[in-house]
Structure 1
């Protein structure tokens, strides 16, 4: 029920903070608090219920925590709260950290009262306080309190009204702060080495440009410590910390003008940390680029190669995530699907500060289902946000029956890590431009139902699934052999450049090409680099196919007609000549098997009533219908229930991608629940 979800914008645990007030308003019900004292130095403090004085929304007031400095880590945490208008806040430091799952067991003294906070925040405050004290000259070792802002302390987490008011202000809080202190957590056995190594990266090899030569110098220079696997293992572990996987961290890194990263007693500015951005190749997650990088590292032992590449992959994801800009809130949400949130609603609310002119405002009185539905309705009003449907379907909503199948369950997407299998990048069709969308504008409207909302959209129903196999079934030699043998006598439409071109007579070998393109999810020629990768996987497909047919027993004559040379000739025709790659297909078997495994991960292989191949979501059933939605390049699988449809998920079917074979005269209004 609305209003029963108490978790805060960052965590389930609420914290009450003492604050001086002259208000006569009635305090809330008393809360039970720990009565243990912390040190003799604070024996005069008392444990008592406290209240937050109401903030003035018209003045955009916030609370600032004035932390008393100390050089001793073990010294009690003592601070006071004050209220100031955001426009008059002055200098302060914004705290960025992970709340953590531990209960609130650490004590902080606020305005003379003891309060409990979570261990990670307490550790971060102590380290920040000590670093600040040590940075002062000796004659200034008795400084005034340090002004900081930390959400767990400065926002009344028990007040839904206040949280709704304060979350939209976080954009300005992190933009106005003197700098943000990003606390990665306490040190471990490798973190000091990682922090020191990152600090030395830029100066050691003079990394001033993004070029493979710089990486080469860095790793080959005589006496370079960066040739040791242990160093790269330490950096990888630092980059895998929970800090980097929280949704709130995204805005807290992007918004501040200055940022300090701290782990244990070590700290480095963000500008130093960004040297990692220059390590990976200038690529877009292409396997072939990392193959080239491995060749650069051939003189290193395999363990070191693996660790360098692992760091480059993580750094590349940072480059993509933090360098990603989109005018659409939808694009931001999709780009951060992997980030976690303790409160499921924060998968949306935690990113509002980055959005330009967001169409929704935080309301923590609503359930996660209501928030996700409101967000989907606001986004689907814009034609370029239709890719949200890639994250919809029965499999994504199986844990939340209150969601319509056209509403993405973002919490489920993150928890099940289905983004690795989502076709957002690998199925993206360059031919689906804005011009295409404007030619086929989707007509979207909504109808309220008792428990959810129906989506009305224009679309064309295509063929249905007739034969479906899961990954393990499909890869059995018998099933693979049967599919190959059935190609002879079957026809497949000829296609070119993302659009169907009917050319009269269709040769059966086109179906073989279609199988390769389906199993690698490639159906258009992109740039020269992707074309090279396509040649390699095509050669590997040919070699793997013959190997599988040879391993099958009782191979029918139709399948035995195939030879490696015939397969190579058929696939090579895709490129207009016989590339050198096809002379040694066995060298590319692993590349193809990797691409095939990525395609089949969390998907099923199927054939359709019209004789096409396809890949669909787990949970698909025979009889599910392939549908093209107006203005959306990726087909969906729909399941008819009474007079309406449910979205099963997105699918990949050659001949149905983008505007392939789309017939506007056959479009109809579909009601999707």
Structure 2
């Protein structure tokens, strides 16, 4: 069909002005869609319109919206999804005032979008009601919504009792649990629950209703039911998303939002931030500039956090770096190595702060990673300055003296065996190695195995290098033999997935100390290790038996590759480097390489004074 009068937008004339559509009523669903588009100032017309949250769907603009203006009629092309939801939401006899981005924003005007998009949180928050359209219903939708309502009404009981109550409700409504679970899973996997922009649209709503065809359910009811499912360890990202859509009791930070909704999708990398901006408390002084390139936007967040956040907030940024990865800037751009790439989804490669591997399991946001003593982070003229205590990290950090290399492929079992023996001999130069280094490495391996390979059925019952390990541990107390043998058997698997390394403190202090670590990145000898925070032994499964016998610390550490020094405020040149990775490590403090100091029951980092602080600039 050829349109002789295509609709043309009038520019918004005031700072707080928005467009609304006045949707004409109709008694028949198949009647043509007709409306007017009017401009209103938000300061004048608050809470007098309904906002619509939906998914654009296939960008096929094949439907017509008739628009009347001063007696003239023009047309705007809309998608089939917008056409369906408008027909569903229009009234029978009265006008309905709606805000919907596909129509109320001039999609061809980038300047208008740059101004209006940061205001979308307010637009949805000031609406009388938010209508959430997730798509057409299926033959089980009505039963599912009944089930969700009844689950939300269950009294709060212990987890086991709640599970049985949910099963009873499901059997009563669906007849069997399989049908009910499949219906809930299918519903949670609808596209709306995977989109990023809908998060602030739902969470900021004064009131919100979810529509699925002709079936409707209040959003708080849906969120509470999903939260109860999530608490029963039925973890998936859509369920986590659903459980977190209710209005929060407090405004979260932008870091917490990026962490929680890490898998929510959007087309533009900068929308990973923009779509959540309206939800966040402005604690760090970050202001959204939608005209900026996405890498610059991420950089602005990191700088705002480092400039205005507490030290715990700055350490949260390091956790984001570990799980999102770093932004990969073009080789000709001098870009900081510590900017998280929020365009990725989170992946937890090692227990840097948590022993839970599944990031969709119910888990509170880590507001304070690790526990004292922690490194201190500061922003210094565009560089990240990290301070640590010399008694823990050495006056110049720890140096990697050996690291496994994953470049050489292992083709035969014989090669695998030789590689394992070679690694163990590098870690312990003598077959009759000191007792405590062996126990420290075994403790580290056990920590990672419990985290990365939790399925005990996959554990090796024997290995070609059992005899070699038995000789190595024969001088240790017999009470540890079985556990150590079982743990060290898994070395070949760790070699296939991680870089294993040995390190020594740089400088004269603690020259007989030694450390061991595991990293998801490839390290090389000469890399510097900087301690960030302690990991808690008591929280790690199966680790407590070592604590009484060894004087060691498990730490999360940064892997830094040194560069040339730069001057700090007229003082001597400070050492500088770039972050190339991160690792989980154990550190042993020893008086000699064969006699480790176990005489002092206090921790290394108790009552350390500020005079022992060392630092490095990270570019």
TM-score normalised by length of structure 1: 0.66
Instruction: Name the residue aligned to 1:349.
Output: 274
Q: Distance in 2 between matches of 1:607 and 1:623?
A: 11
Distance (whole Å) between structure 2 residues aligned to residue 339 and residue 509 of structure 1: 42
**Residues 420 and 517 of structure 1, relative CA distance in 2, 3 Å threshold:** closer
Which residue does 1:100 correspond to in 2?
Answer: 57
Gap change, CA 1:660 and 1:319, over 3 Å in 2: farther
Residue by residue, what CA displacement relative to the aligned partner does 1:184-239 show, whole Å, maximum 9, x if unpaired?
Answer: 1234xxx4414532323443896232543243144257755253312211210211
Q: What is the distance in 2 between the residues matched to 1:660 and 1:150?
A: 59
Structure with the largest fraction of helix: 1
Which structure 2 residues correspond to residues 652-667 of structure 1 after superposition, within 5 A? 652-655=584-587, 667=613
Q: Match for residue 319 of structure 2?
A: 390
Structure 1 segments unaligned to the other structure (5+ residues)? 1-34, 38-45, 134-140, 283-288, 291-308, 448-453, 493-505, 523-535, 573-584
Aligned with residue 636 of structure 1, among 516, 537, 558: 558
Q: Offset of 1:94 from its aligned partner?
A: 0.8
Separation in structure 2 between the aligned mates of residue 367 and residue 202 of structure 1, nearest angstrom: 44
Query: CA offset at residue 378 of structure 1?
Result: 0.4
CA distance in 2, matches of 1:671, 1:147: 55
Shift of 1:553: 8.0
What CA distance in whole angstroms lies between the structure 2 residues aligned with 1:74 and 1:420?
Answer: 53
Say whether residues 1:203 and 2:150 are aligned partners: yes
Q: 1:320–1:74: structure 2 CA closer, same or farther, 3 Å change rule?
A: closer
Residues 330-349 of structure 1 deviation map (CA, whole Å, 9 limit, x = unaligned): 22222222222212112122
C-alpha contact 1:93 1:148 (8 A) present in aligned 2: yes
5+ residue gaps, structure 2, are 357-364, 389-395, 505-513, 536-554, 566-575, 589-602
Partner SS for 1:365: coil
Distance in 2 (alpha carbons) for counterparts of 1:480 and 1:99: 54
Secondary structure of residue in 1 paired with 2:400: strand
1:558 to 465, 471, 474: 471
C-alpha contact (below 8 Å) 2:517/2:583 kept by paired residues: yes
Q: CA deviation at 1:606?
A: 1.2
Partner residue, 2:185: 236
Residue in structure 1 matched with residue 503 of structure 2 by the alignment: 609
Distance apart, 1:92 and its partner CA: 1.3
The answer to whether 1:380 aligns with 2:299 is no
Q: Offset at 1:254?
A: 1.0
Matches within 5 A, 1:64-463: 64-89=20-45, 90-111=47-68, 112-129=73-90, 133=91, 141=92, 143-187=93-137, 191-203=138-150, 207-211=154-158, 212-220=160-168, 225=174, 227-277=176-226, 279-280=228-229, 282=231, 290=233, 309=234, 314-316=238-240, 318-319=242-243, 327-357=252-282, 359-381=285-307, 382=309, 383-386=311-314, 387-392=316-321, 396-398=326-328, 402=333, 403-411=335-343, 413-414=344-345, 417-418=346-347, 423=352, 425-426=354-355, 441-447=376-382, 454-459=383-388, 461-463=397-399
CA deviation map 1:101-135 (0-9, x unaligned): 53433332233322223333333223323xxx4xx
CA distance in 2, matches of 1:463, 1:162: 53
Taking the aligned partners of 1:249 and 1:36, their CA distance within structure 2 comes to 34
Query: How far did 1:240 drift?
Result: 1.7
The one-character-per-residue Cα deviations of 1:388-438 (angstroms, maximum 9, x if unpaired) are: 123338963336555422111211x23xx536778464489898579756x
Matches within 5 A, 1:440-589: 441-447=376-382, 454-459=383-388, 461-464=397-400, 466-468=402-404, 479-480=419-420, 489-490=432-433, 506=436, 508-520=438-450, 540=456, 544=459, 547-549=461-463, 551-552=464-465, 555=468, 558=471, 561=474, 566-567=479-480
The answer to which of 48-57 and 234-243 deviates more is 48-57
Q: Distance in 2 between matches of 1:121 and 1:343?
A: 21
Q: Post-superposition shift, 1:256?
A: 0.9
CA–CA distance in structure 2, aligned partners of residues 85 and 148 of structure 1: 14
8 Å CA contact retained: 2:562, 2:578: yes
How far does residue 61 in structure 1 lie from its aligned partner after superposition? 1.6
Q: How many angstroms does 1:176 deviate by?
A: 1.9
Distance verdict in 2 for CA 1:97–1:442, change over 3 Å: same
CA gap of 1:74–1:480, structure 2 versus 1, over 3 A, is: farther
Aligned residues: 526
Q: Any idea what SS the aligned residue of 2:222 has?
A: helix
The answer to whether residue 598 in structure 2 is matched with residue 672 in structure 1 is no
**Between 208-217 and 145-154, the greater mean CA deviation after superposition:** 208-217
Q: 1: CA distance between counterparts of 2:470 and 2:348?
A: 42
Give the structure 2 partner of residue 36 of structure 1.
2
Which residue, out of 51, 55, 72, partners 2:13? Answer: 55
Distance 1:233 1:378 in 2: 44
Distance in 1 of aligned mates of 2:58 and 2:522: 33
Q: Provide Cα deviations, 1:44-100, integer angstroms capped at 9, x if missing partner.
A: xx433613223311xx22111111233544433322111111122242111111233
- CA displacement 1:468-488 (0-9 Å, x = unmatched): 355997995654566567666
Quick check: 1:344–1:368 contact (8 Å CA) kept in 2?
A: yes
